[in-house]
Amino acid sequence: MTDSALPATGREWRLLSRPVGWPKPEDFELAETEIRRPGPGEVLVRNAYVSVDPYMRGRMSSAKSYVAPFELGKVMQGGAVGEVVASEAEGVAPGDHVLHFGGWREYAVVDAKQAVKVDPDAAPLSTYLGVLGMTGLTAYAGLLRTASFKEGDSVFVSGAAGAVGSQVGQIARLKGASRVIGSAGSDEKVKLLVEEYGFDAAFNYKNGPVAEQLRDAAPDGIDVYFDNVGGDHLEAAIGSLNTKGRIAICGMISVYNNTEPAPGPKNLARLIQTRGRIEGLLVGDHYDLQPQFVQEVGAWVRSGELKYRETVVEGIENNLEAFLGVLRGDNTGKMIVKL
């Protein structure tokens, strides 16, 4: 595509006001904006797929966190993958495909140093946002490094049908877990965990107290808990934790939209008895594992040993609804918007 053939404008999502409780459509706008041509060292990317993820809810707040909040009136950011249509950067040419962080828009100008070339022939482009992307690395690093998984461990994963959770459970199984248990929010997802992803047991957390269902699913206790949910799931996991058990805190989607502080687990003192360990997880601390992760997990994906699902929503105009769907748990596997 020549420079003269590039479109003059593209659509982008902006945050207008900071949501209180559940985000509302009036907190956002889909705006038409002029497309800037790339400057030295930059590339212009036509996004093919963009990612929506639970952590983005935190960036909509002004509270101090591990990542800067979205700016009001400005385009939001997120993972995206697309085709380079114009380049002023050495080593990146039009027609190349790159992974970058300029999501929530149709076109993005990005610093080429912040973009990673990906091969659409090696794997579908959308997988670089999920199973082979940030969510996949989160699962890999969180289980193997943060939770110090070892062969023979019994592993419990909450939000297990989601993009991260489904991969955690499968990696644990492939690495020799003695038992893998998952929780999910529907009977259909529970069936998926056991029949397709190979979990040993799974339960619908809406069908009864989590602590009771976990004890039934893991009568001998758990050695590792990978937390995507928080709340009653975390309390239940502490209650079932074996001696020297480890808990990796990846997310707490159950409390993201609370307007009042959620009560903490009432049984933290049990960690004294079990000598248990809880550690938070940020994927940005573990990018040194990326080559090892892509090699090992990529091979599992190609062989069919590791399965994945994607929930694909069509159209940039539906980006916000896709994000709200993630907070509701509508997705099975990675939620992706196809532009």
Average pLDDT, the chain: 93
> What average pLDDT does this structure show over 6-28?
94
pLDDT band (50, 70, 90) for residue 284: confident
Residue with tokens 């973009």: 115
Please report, to the nearest 10 degrees, the dihedral formed by the alpha carbons of residues 302, 128, 255, 145 taken in order: 60
Q: Within 10 Å of residue 109's Cβ, how many Cβ atoms?
A: 18
Identity at 336, one-letter amino acid code: I
Mean pLDDT of 204-216: 97
What pTM was estimated for this model as a whole? 0.82
Q: What is the pLDDT of residue 336?
A: 96
SS3 label, residue 312: strand
In this predicted structure, the answer to whether residue 264 has a pLDDT above a threshold of 80 is no
pLDDT digits (tens, 9 = 90+) for 167-202: 999 999 999 999 999 999 999 999 999 999 999 999
Instruction: Find the range with the poorest average confidence among 24-28, 64-68, 126-130.
Output: 64-68
Full DSSP string of 49-90: EEE--TTHHHHTS-S--SSPPPPBTSB--B-EEEEEEEE-ST
What distance in Å separates the CA atoms of residue 300 and residue 136, rounded to the nearest whole number?
12
* pLDDT surpassing 90 at residue 226: yes
Share of the chain above pLDDT 90, in %: 82
Summarised one tens digit per residue, pLDDT across range 101-160 is 999 999 999 999 999 898 898 888 999 999 999 899 999 999 999 999 999 999 999 999
